[in-house]
Amino acid sequence: MAEKQRRAPSQGRAQATVDAILDAAFQLLESDGPERLTTNHVAERAGVSVGTVYQYFADKQDILAALAQRRTSAVRDAIAETLIERPDLGSVRPIVRALMNGFEGSPATRQALLGALFHRGDAVLETHHQAFLASIAGKARLQIDLTPEAAFVLTHAAVGLLRAAAAEPGLALDPQALEDELVRLMEAYISALVAVKRS
């Protein structure tokens, strides 16, 4: 069982080392796939010792979780930026677009990172997940107060479908059409929540 991230990168040099490790891990995910990702390979690509990797990360899964956390921060920022710059898009489409574009890389990489984000049980990732749900409810300026259960369903409906799409690249789904369908799904769910509240 992986331990939580071992050392917090409090200084600039330490943060640069962590960034180098995560950048190397992403590059290896893209070139070799998640099955062949190892801490030894990450250390070699990052130009550090494997001992340095273990100063910050307990194992491969810990690295994947940190990569996923980094991407979800970018997704939340993209949601906020889009809502500010393009209010004409409404509240749902920016969220869907940010989710679709937030996890870059090959289908295998996206699948690995989405899986790490939503299937790790450690406290750090759970806290990050809850913050993500809060951003969905708050930054979208929805006209309802989402319960934790409704926020969970709303978020996982979209993310689950995106994970499935990443897992089945052979389907060759059209990105714009998939975005439209996800928007329709989320808008219908939100409309149902509003109707229940008004009844």
Q: What is the pLDDT of residues 141-197, one digit of tens each?
A: 555 666 778 877 877 788 788 878 877 878 888 889 999 999 899 888 888 887 877
Q: Is 87 exposed, middle or buried (0-12, 13-18, 19+ CB in 10 A)?
A: exposed
With bands split at pLDDT 50, 70 and 90, how would you rate the model's confidence at 83? Answer: low
Window from 71-80, 102-111, 147-156 with minimum mean pLDDT? 71-80
pLDDT at 8 (0 to 100): 58
pLDDT at 2: 44
How do residues 109-132 score in pLDDT, each as one tens digit?
888 887 777 665 555 445 555 555
∠ CA 98-101-105, nearest 5°, is 150
Specify the higher pLDDT residue, 160 or 86.
160
Q: What are phi and psi of 11, to 5 degrees?
A: -105, 160
Decide which of 162 and 3 is more confident: 162
Task: Give just the sign of the alpha carbon dihedral 180, 74, 153, 158.
Answer: positive
Most confident of 28-32, 69-73, 83-87, 142-146: 28-32
How high does pLDDT run on average in the chain? 78
pLDDT of 4 reads 47
User: Cα 28 from chain centroid?
Assistant: 18
pLDDT > 50? residue 3: no
- Pick from 130, 72, 61: nearest CA to 101: 72
- Answer whether 0.75 is exceeded by the pTM: no
| CATH code of domain 12-198 | 1.10.357.10
Domain ranges of the chain: 12-198
User: What are 10-19's contacts with CB under 8 Å, separation 24+?
Assistant: 14/56, 17/46, 17/48, 17/52, 17/56, 18/56, 18/66
Cα(87)–Cα(93) distance, rounded to whole angstroms? 10
